Every structure is written in structure tokens, then in C-alpha cells.
């Protein structure tokens, strides 16, 4: 890959991520006590964050997955959101929390929330590891946010570059 020789600027270390995920898990546990929590992980980017997050939630939780596409191999979202794999269960009556790696333009999350809202969940909220509000093209406001970041291309901890680097345990950007 052409990025292999570039330096990495670490934005969030594994320890910083771990600590923030624990905090989010406690907040979500408290907010959903006595509720019928269904976590919907958005693939592919959200799977690592979701896996770590659900292990920090100390109440019964059901987990499902959706796969969407809007980047179409590019560094920026095309704005054309497609659902590649939809939920296969009835979510009516569940308190649904959609979990993803990043809210950038907000178009994907807004599309997912509107799509799921039509299925009559008891409640519907979203959680993102990273929020990049400066790029927002909608009025999306995530209910739970790990970190707010500036407008830069980031990679690692589920976020990819050319389908690589998702496995890196920290979040970084490439620098010259």
C-alpha cells in the first residue's frame, strides 16, 4: 500500500479508547436499566467498537448487525447510502441503540435511524466512537459520543483505509 511508509500520528491510544469505552458502557447501563436493549452494530467499521462497548454494558443486551455503504471505496461519503444487509428481526418494542465507528457527514446514521424508526422501536438512539461535527451535512446529534475530532482522515480501531488498518488498536492519521 502507498501509505505504508507514511508516519502515523496517534490521536487516541488503546488506553484512552478503553477508558472512554468503559465510561460509555456505564452511561448506557444506567440509561437502559429495566429496558429491552437491542444494540445494532453498523458494519464494517462499528464492529470493534461495538464488541468492546457491549462487554462494558452490565445489563442484558441483544446484538444485531446492519451493513451499509456510502463511501464506495472513496475517502469521503458519496451521500448515497445503501443498506447491504438489513436486520432480520422485528425490533418493535425494543430500545434500540445504533452503534457505529464515526459520525462524519451524518448522512449514513440519519438514514439508518429513519429506516429503523419506521419499525416502531420503543426508543431509538445512536452511539459513535468518533464525532466529526465540522463535516456534518444533517442535523444529526449523536446521543453517546466517545470523542469529538477535527476534520482529518483517521484510521484504526475499526476505521479503514482501502479496507486495511481496522485491526490497529488505536486511532491515528497519516502524516507526511
Catalytic positions: 104
**CA 86 – CA 64 distance, rounded (Å):** 10
**CA 30 – CA 7 distance, rounded (Å):** 40
Q: Per the structure block, which three cell numbers stand in for 51?
A: 464488541
Q: Contact at 8 Å (CB) between 66 and 85?
A: yes
CA distances 38 to 11, 28, 94, Å, are 30, 12, 6
Amino acid at each position: 500500500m502507498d501509505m505504508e511508509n507514511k508516519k502515523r500520528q496517534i490521536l487516541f491510544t488503546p488506553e484512552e479508547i478503553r477508558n472512554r469505552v468503559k465510561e460509555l458502557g456505564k452511561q448506557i447501563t444506567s440509561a437502559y436499566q429495566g429496558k429491552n436493549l437491542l444494540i445494532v452494530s453498523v458494519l464494517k467499521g462499528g464492529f470493534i467498537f461495538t464488541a468492546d462497548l457491549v462487554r462494558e454494558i452490565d445489563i442484558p443486551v441483544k446484538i444485531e448487525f446492519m451493513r451499509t455503504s456510502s463511501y464506495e471505496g472513496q475517502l469521503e461519503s458519496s451521500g448515497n447510502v445503501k443498506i447491504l444487509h438489513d436486520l432480520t428481526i422485528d425490533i418493535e418494542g425494543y430500545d434500540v441503540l445504533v452503534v457505529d465507528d464515526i459520525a462524519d457527514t451524518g448522512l449514513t446514521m440519519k438514514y439508518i435511524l429513519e429506516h429503523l424508526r419506521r419499525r416502531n422501536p420503543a426508543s431509538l438512539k445512536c452511539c459513535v466512537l468518533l464525532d466529526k461535527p465540522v463535516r456534518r451535512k444533517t442535523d444529526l446529534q449523536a446521543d453517546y459520543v466517545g470523542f469529538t475530532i477535527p476534520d482529518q482522515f483517521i484510521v484504526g480501531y475499526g476505521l479503514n483505509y482501502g479496507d486495511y488498518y481496522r485491526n490497529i488498536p488505536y486511532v491515528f492519521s497519516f502524516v507526511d
